[in-house]
């Protein structure tokens, strides 16, 4: 079967760095997405990786290793507003989005 695994919840301190991991097993691969979702709101796009390596975008970076079926989202200089759920999603060979359950990130002062 297809599955995406990511931690259920993580806690970090304001100003620190946190890494949210995502491992996947899917039928084919057409890219991996990270989304941020604040409670009660639609998810917002953070990053898209289709090739191995690190993509940096401001305070957020996303890494992909296709051979390992692994990605991580790195958040630097954490701010209280970064408290949200972070969703990892993989597009498989049929262009279906396989979604992880999300990681709830709690930022403490």
Partner 1 sequence: GAVVSQHPSWVICKSGTSVKIECRSLDFQATTMFWYRQFPKQSLMLMATSNEGSKATYEQGVEKDKFLINHASLTLSTLTVTSAHPEDSSFYICSARAVAGGDTGELFFGEGSRLTVL
Chain residues in the site for partner 1 (CB under 8 A)? 31, 33, 35, 37-43, 45, 48, 50, 85, 89, 94-99, 101-102
What is the DSSP annotation of the chain?
--EEE--SEEEEETTS-EEEEEEEE-SS-S-EEEEEE-TTS--EEEEEE-SSEEEEETTEEEEEETTTTEEEEEE-S--GGG-EEEEEEEE-TTSPEEEP--EEEEEE-
CB of 15 to partner 1, least distance (A): 26
Q: Which is nearer to partner 1, 23 or 30 (CB)?
A: 30
Q: Which is nearer to partner 1, 78 or 85 (CB)?
A: 85
Q: Which is nearer to partner 1, 13 or 44 (CB)?
A: 44
CB of 35 to partner 1, least distance (A): 7
CB of 16 to partner 1, least distance (A): 25
């Amino acid at each position: 079967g297809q599955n995406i695994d990511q931690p259920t919840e993580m806690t970090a301190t304001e100003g620190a760095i946190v890494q949210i991991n995502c491992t996947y097993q899917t039928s084919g691969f057409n890219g991996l997405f990270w989304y941020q979702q604040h409670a009660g709101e639609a998810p917002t796009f953070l990053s898209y990786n289709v090739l191995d390596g690190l993509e940096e975008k401001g305070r957020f970076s996303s890494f992909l290793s296709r051979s390992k079926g692994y990605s991580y989202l790195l958040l630097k200089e954490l701010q209280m507003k970064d408290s949200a759920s972070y969703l990892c999603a993989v597009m498989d060979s049929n262009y279906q989005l396989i979604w992880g359950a999300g990681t709830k990130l709690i930022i403490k002062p």
